[in-house]
């Protein structure tokens, strides 16, 4: 793998950097730099989505015929690096990075023509309906029934941990259309209009006070069969494909490297022991260097995976590797941040950052104590505890690798 940038790639980097410099307003930059959740402020994220759409860079990994970019793997990674350096806020991955690849791979021509342009424009904002009260990591245990009534399915049950369902108008959902000899059989992948009669969204407020997650209750919701992706009863194949993109379709390393650079700069100012700066503490700096080395190794693995994607492949087993390494290293970065924060890490100050949902306190304001990175450290630390649980727990990912990669 050649890691030297060509003159053309260096010119592309300059073009991307100039775009971020030109289009990133102060509030957009603040929303990205000071975010404390996996997801950014919804309204600002939608504003940023329209800017990317106008530039033609909103969904670069999509096929060109659907609005993607004919980029090399190098360009994809350069874009990710510059995005991290600019602290650009994230766009919601539910439609663009998760449902869309499944639609492109398994959807009908009519489904692609209807849904994909509306994902790009933001007219359709998506959430996910996978987990249930009795089916989380063991997703195949899902039981929400969907009754076949001729030209439609009647869906009845509930889904939980649905991010931003309270602002979404569509949900991609797994439902049980039959009981078979294996739990993976008899599952169907459906697209449901959240405005349909019988859909109710109930907030699930976290311990931090944030309203990001929700329960979605379906009371005999009618879903036309034209909104089934793939064949009825064979939705597990679609779901597995989608999960590969949820777990391993994005690059973790660029953002972590940006956070480590910021943390290294903060350490030069933060007090350590004996009146010295934290940057003069050999133990702390050795830990920081160790994490950075691990992130650099992850970066190389991500480049290999992106290379496979650029050739038309899917993440495959690499998705589980990236999910494990990416989320556990994100936790390590926040642990360093919490240590660097010192006694400011004891305070709960959500107003210092941009949370992924309302907390009842105005965010991004000046009324917090200590350096901003220190005030954000406990929020980021607590948020990243969920990283090894969502999108399939890391224990499940290790089981997948044991089976698919090692044959155990």
Residue positions annotated with a catalytic role: 246
Cα–Cα distance, 79 to 353 (Å, whole number): 25
The two three-digit tokens of residue 64, written as one number: 């060109």
For the chain, what is the radius of gyration of the CA atoms? Answer: 22
53, 121 contact by CB (below 8 A): yes
Positions of E strands within 83-210: 126-129, 146-148, 152-159, 170-176, 187-193, 199-205
For 135-194, strand residue ranges (E) read 146-148, 152-159, 170-176, 187-193
Region class of 85: left (phi > 0), else alpha (psi between -120 and 50), else beta: alpha
CA atoms within 13 A on the CB side of 159: 26
State phi, psi for 396 to the nearest 5 degrees. Answer: -65, -40
Cβ atoms 250, 97 nearer than 8 A: yes
Sheet holding 146-148, edge to edge: 146-148, 152-159, 211-224, 199-205
Q: Are 222 and 163 in contact (CB under 8 A)?
A: no
> Using CA atoms, how far apart are residues 350 and 37, in angstroms rounded to an integer?
11
Q: What are the residues facing 277 on neighbouring strands?
A: 271
Tokens representing residue 289 in the block: 């260097």
Per-residue burial over 20-41, b = 16 or more CB atoms within 10 Å of its CB, e = otherwise: beeebeeebbbbbbbbbbbbbb
- State the burial class of residue 58 (Cβ atoms within 10 Å of its Cβ: 0-12, 13-18, 19+): buried
């Amino acid at each position: 793998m050649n890691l030297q940038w060509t003159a053309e790639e260096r010119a592309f980097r300059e073009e991307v950097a100039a775009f971020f410099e030109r289009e990133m307003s102060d509030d957009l930059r603040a929303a990205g730099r000071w975010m404390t959740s996996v997801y950014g402020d919804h309204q600002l994220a939608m504003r940023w989505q329209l800017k990317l759409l106008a530039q033609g860079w909103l969904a670069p990994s999509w096929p060109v015929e659907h609005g993607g970019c004919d980029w090399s793997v190098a360009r994809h990674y350069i874009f990710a690096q510059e995005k991290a350096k600019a602290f650009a806020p994230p766009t919601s991955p539910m439609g663009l990075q998760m449902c869309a690849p499944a639609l492109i791979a398994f959807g009908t021509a009519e489904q692609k023509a209807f849904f994909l342009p509306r994902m790009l424009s933001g007219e359709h904002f998506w959430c996910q309906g996978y987990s249930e009260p009795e089916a989380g990591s063991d997703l195949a245990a899902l039981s929400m029934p969907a009754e076949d009534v001729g030209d439609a399915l009647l869906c009845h049950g509930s889904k939980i941990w649905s991010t931003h369902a309270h602002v979404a108008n569509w949900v991609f959902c797994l439902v049980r259309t039959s009981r078979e000899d294996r739990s993976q059989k008899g599952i169907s992948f459906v697209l449901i209009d959240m405005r349909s009669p019988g859909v109710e969204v109930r907030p699930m407020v976290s311990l931090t006070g944030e309203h990001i997650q929700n329960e979605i209750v379906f009371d005999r919701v009618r879903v036309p069969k034209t909104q089934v992706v793939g064949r009825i009863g064979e939705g597990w194949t679609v779901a597995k494909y989608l999960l590969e993109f949820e777990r391993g379709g994005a690059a973790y390393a660029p953002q972590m490297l940006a956070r480590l650079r910021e943390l290294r700069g903060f350490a030069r100012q933060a007090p350590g022991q004996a009146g010295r700066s934290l940057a003069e503490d050999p133990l702390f700096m050795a830990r920081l260097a160790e994490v950075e080395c691990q992130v650099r190794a992850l970066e190389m693995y991500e480049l290999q995976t992106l290379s496979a994607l650029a050739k038309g492949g899917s993440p495959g087993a690499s998705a589980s590797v990236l999910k494990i390494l990416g989320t556990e290293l994100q936790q390590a970065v926040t642990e360093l941040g919490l240590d660097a924060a010192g006694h400011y890490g004891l305070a709960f100050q959500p107003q210092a950052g941009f949370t992924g949902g309302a907390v009842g306190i105005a965010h991004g304001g000046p009324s917090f104590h200590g350096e901003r990175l220190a005030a954000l450290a406990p929020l980021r630390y607590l948020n990243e505890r969920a990283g090894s649980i969502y999108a399939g727990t890391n224990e499940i990912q290790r089981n997948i690798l044991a089976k698919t990669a090692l044959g155990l």
